[in-house]
């Protein structure tokens, strides 16, 4: 595949066990041209995210992809990490050595603007973390949208949340930023918890990866084992490929079933804060009849996923078969 045929992508992450699985896939898949990676506070503090991201790229033997440090806290909320899921170091406490790679000396927003506008073809943005960097970018340099093909983000939920009964972690961590993302004015796909939780790698594949001689395969296996619902003891596992599924959706959109629906982030304080309210009603309700309709962004919401197809896609790229 020539450079002109590959999909230019930029990943915004909070690495993160499943962010790492996404990075391993993205740098290995021949259809993707990863032009930059930006880091934001989320699963762990932003310096930990930078370190983990560089470690993954190093173990994967990835090319020289610029990595930038971004926001160290959400727009309004304090930092609220997910170390109970991702370990104290944010990457499963696997005892990995510190990376020799270093981040670029510009901040995430600057790198995002530079790489989006420099891309010869419109970029697909893949945020898989709290959306702080993306909101800052859209508000600081709105002109970037002219060279964004689409945004495929991991976040939100149609049905059930994880951070709260109704809110998914990435949106809950920075709800205002998510609201800014939804009004970006470019095509958006929401790869939410409804599909995120479904894509689980069979135990036999995990064991094969763990037993491999290639360090990047072993890392993939250890990360997956960390997220294995059977071994993690997590009664409501978010395990499996996690964020990597959103990258699969960029390579192979046909594996997702989506519907274009109005989506709004609940911003009011209280138990609903951070919920992505997805309007699946077939007809307007009394609210619209009596009070009129409100302009709401339309989003391609993932409602179904071909699990085997994405697992095979991910394994094939990561194992180089
Ligand atoms: C999201 O939160 C993080 O813990 C994961 O990396 C994923 O991006 C799932 O709610
Ligand atoms: Ca993430």
| Cis peptide leading into residue 16 (ω within 30°) | yes
What would the mean pLDDT of 258-274 be, rounded to a whole number? 98
Strands 32-39 and 298-305, sheet pairing: unpaired
Question: Which is the closest atom of ligand 1 to the Cα of 18?
Answer: 6
Ligand number nearest CA of 12 is 2
Q: Is there a domain that residue 2 lies in?
A: no
Q: Is there a domain that residue 285 lies in?
A: no
Give distance in angstroms: CA of 247 to centre of ligand 2. Answer: 12
Question: Which is the closest atom of ligand 1 to the Cα of 162?
Answer: 10
Question: Which is the closest atom of ligand 1 to the Cα of 82?
Answer: 4
Residue nearest atom 9 in ligand 1 by C-alpha distance? 169
Q: Is there a domain that residue 36 lies in?
A: yes
User: Could you tell me the CATH number of the domain that includes residue 211?
Assistant: 3.90.245.10
Global pTM reads 0.95
92, two tokens: 């499963």
Strands 298-305 and 256-265, sheet pairing: antiparallel
Asked whether residue 178 carries a pLDDT value surpassing 60, the answer given is yes
Give distance in angstroms: CA of 129 to centre of ligand 2. Answer: 4
Residue nearest atom 4 in ligand 1 by C-alpha distance? 43
Ligand number nearest CA of 191 is 1
Give distance in angstroms: CA of 49 to centre of ligand 2. Answer: 10
Q: Is there a domain that residue 173 lies in?
A: yes
Q: Is there a domain that residue 313 lies in?
A: yes
Q: Is there a domain that residue 138 lies in?
A: yes
Question: Which is the closest atom of ligand 1 to the Cα of 128?
Answer: 8
Give distance in angstroms: CA of 129 to centre of ligand 1. Answer: 6
Query: What is the pLDDT at residue 228?
Result: 59
Q: Is the CB of residue 192 less than 8 Å from the CB of residue 301?
A: yes
Name all residues whose Cβ lies below 6 A of ligand 1.
Answer: 16, 18-19, 43, 82, 85, 128-129, 154, 162, 168-170, 238, 242-243
> Three-state SS string across 17-42, please?
HHHHHHHHHHHHCCCEEEEEEEECCC
Ligand number nearest CA of 170 is 1
Query: What is the pLDDT at residue 226?
Result: 82
pLDDT in tens, 276-320: 999 999 998 999 999 999 888 999 999 999 999 999 999 999 999
Question: Which is the closest atom of ligand 1 to the Cα of 16?
Answer: 6
Asked whether residue 229 carries a pLDDT value surpassing 70, the answer given is no
Neighbours of 135 (CB within 10 A): 24
pLDDT in tens, 237-261: 444 999 999 999 999 999 999 999 9
Rounded distance between C-alpha atoms, residue 75 and residue 175, angstroms:
9
As residues whose CB is below 5 A from the ion ligand 2, the structure lists 14, 16, 19, 128-129, 243
Rounded distance between C-alpha atoms, residue 200 and residue 305, angstroms:
11
Range in 13-22, 85-94, 140-149, 186-195 with the lowest mean pLDDT: 85-94
Give distance in angstroms: CA of 146 to centre of ligand 2. Answer: 26
Residue nearest atom 2 in ligand 1 by C-alpha distance? 169
Give distance in angstroms: CA of 66 to centre of ligand 2. Answer: 19
Give distance in angstroms: CA of 125 to centre of ligand 1. Answer: 17
What average pLDDT does the structure give for the chain? 93
Question: Which is the closest atom of ligand 1 to the Cα of 19?
Answer: 6
Q: Is there a domain that residue 84 lies in?
A: yes
- Show the domain range for 258: 7-280+295-319
Rg (C-alpha) for the chain, rounded Å, is 18
137, two tokens: 């970018």
Ligand number nearest CA of 241 is 1
Q: Is there a domain that residue 195 lies in?
A: yes
Structural domain count, the chain? 1
């Amino acid at each position: 595949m020539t450079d002109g045929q590959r999909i230019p992508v930029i990943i915004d992450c909070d690495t993160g066990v499943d962010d790492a699985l996404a990075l391993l896939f993205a740098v290995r898949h021949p259809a993707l041209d990863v032009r930059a990676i930006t880091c934001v506070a989320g699963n762990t503090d932003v310096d930990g995210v930078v370190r983990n991201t560089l470690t993954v790229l190093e173990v994967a033997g990835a090319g020289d992809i610029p990595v930038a440090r971004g926001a160290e806290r959400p727009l309004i909320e304090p930092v609220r990490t997910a170390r109970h899921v991702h370990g104290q170091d944010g990457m499963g406490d696997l005892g990995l050595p510190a990376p020799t790679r270093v981040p670029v000396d510009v901040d995430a927003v600057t790198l995002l603007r530079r790489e989006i506008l420099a891309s010869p073809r419109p970029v697909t943005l893949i945020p898989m973390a709290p959306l702080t960097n993306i909101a800052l970018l859209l508000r600081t340099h709105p002109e970037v949208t002219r060279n964004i093909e689409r945004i495929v983000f991991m976040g939100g939920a149609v049905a059930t949340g994880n951070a709260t009964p109704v809110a998914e972690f990435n949106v809950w961590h920075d709800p205002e930023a998510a609201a800014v993302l939804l009004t970006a004015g470019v095509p958006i796909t929401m790869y939410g918890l409804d599909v995120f939780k479904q894509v689980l790698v069979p135990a036999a594949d995990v064991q094969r990866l763990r037993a491999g001689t290639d360090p990047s395969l072993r890392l993939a296996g250890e990360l997956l084992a960390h997220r294995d619902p059977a071994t993690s003891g997590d009664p409501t596992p978010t395990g499996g490929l996690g964020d990597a599924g959103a990258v699969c959706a960029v390579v192979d959109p046909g594996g997702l079933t989506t519907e274009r629906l109005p989506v709004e982030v609940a911003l009011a304080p209280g138990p609903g804060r951070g919920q992505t309210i997805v309007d699946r009603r077939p007809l307007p309700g009394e609210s619209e009849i009596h009070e009129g309709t409100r302009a709401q962004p339309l989003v391609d919401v993932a409602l179904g996923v071909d699990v085997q197809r994405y697992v095979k896609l991910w394994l094939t790229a990561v194992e180089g078969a």
